[in-house]
Amino acid sequence: MKDIVIIGAGGFGREVQWLIERINDSSRKDNRWNILGYIDDNVEAGTDMNGYKVLGGVEYLLSTSTLLAVTCAIGESKIREKVIGKLRAQENLYFPNLFDPSVLHSDLIQIGEGNIICAGTIMTVNIQIADFCIVNLDCTIGHDDVLDSFVTIYPSVNVSGCVHVGKCSELGTGTQIIQGKNIGSETIIGAGAVVVKDMPDECTAVGSPCKPIKFHNLDVSPREGGGVIGKIRC
């Protein structure tokens, strides 16, 4: 068995614990994981989480020299990126991909490291997934899709074929994206949105059809009939 820790002792972290236990129940002994516990800067060390202890914060990982698998169960993309940025240079740490046993996928998928793919998800063919993405429960990822690093896809999202989701973007629960659309980097799509147009970088967008309502680095909101595309008024 290989030792693993879970970063994030919140609700999703506990779901990832269950995912790992499901992997163990369906795998040969040499492919099973030994969960050592949780890593969380905001929970007191020694706190029990569903039968496993919080070992400490990120400094715990920076101070160990033991070969150790790490999975990052922090839902918010930019926080996940920040935490992983502190750890990737540690030669003793590695970041496996975790697939729930119920996930359906073809062999025609290119995938990086540190990704978490949850129960009930279907991923078809010629898909590219970079590093440290989360695909939550019951999602569909269509042919030729590209997920850049640190994308978070919440439950029951349907992504049609030939969609590109930019780095650190988040797709809220129940989002639907039609074929061939692009979601910019660091963009948040609200729950239940129906995306029928490309979405720019660094915005929050909601609704059906989905429209930007806020740009994260600008003190302006889209105007009726126009708006801000990227950093240009139109």
Residues with catalytic annotation?
143
Q: What is the DSSP string of 173-224?
A: TT-EE-TT-EE-TT-EEPTT-EE-S-B-SSEEEETTTTEEEEETT-S--PPT
The CA distance from 27 to 33, in Å, is: 10
The CA distance from 87 to 132, in Å, is: 13
Tokens of 195: 């995306």
H-run or E-run covering 15 = helix 11-26
Helix (H, G, I), strand (E, B), or coil: what is residue 61? helix
Tokens of 7: 């970063």
Is 174 assigned a ligand-binding role in the annotation?
no
**Cα end-to-end span (Å), the chain:** 57
Mark 47-62 as b/e (b = at least 16 C-beta within 10 Å). Answer: eebeebebbbebebbe
**Annotated binding-site ranges:** 75
**Annotated binding-site ranges for substrate:** 75
